[in-house]
Amino acid sequence: MDGHIDGIVETNYDISIGQNGSVTGLIKARSIFLSGKLEGKVACERIEILATGKLVGELISGELTIETGGKFIGQSRELSESGIIVGVEEDQPAQLEKKLADYASEAEQSEQK
């Protein structure tokens, strides 16, 4: 993917976000290969943040790899042993939007330093 998505992406397959790609919101996938920008909440079995990739937000993953040059700003939790990934609850979109705004604000502040 090399475009922009604002919202929720949920799949049982792998996702590759190219250098020109960006996602703001929630992603749930088997594996994620990140060369672009991802802001929000991420739940996956495996994620690779490549040299040009940047993840800002909350990560729930079984395996995390960050290449030299790749960036991860946020918090990470390990995927449970059962492999269950929690979906978005009904009241979460408003909470997710607030978290995204907070993450964006924090990222802008850290980039200005």
| 96 band by pLDDT with thresholds 50, 70 and 90 | low
Residue pLDDT, tens place only, 67-77 = 999 999 999 88
State the pLDDT at residue 79.
75
The rounded mean pLDDT for the chain is 82
Q: Is pLDDT of 80 > 80? A: no
d(CA 59, CA 51): 18
**What pTM does this model have?**
0.70
Lookup result for tokens 């998505």: 5
Structure tokens at 92: 């979460």
Q: Is pLDDT of 89 > 60? A: no
Residue pLDDT, tens place only, 24-56 = 999 999 999 999 999 999 999 999 999 999 999
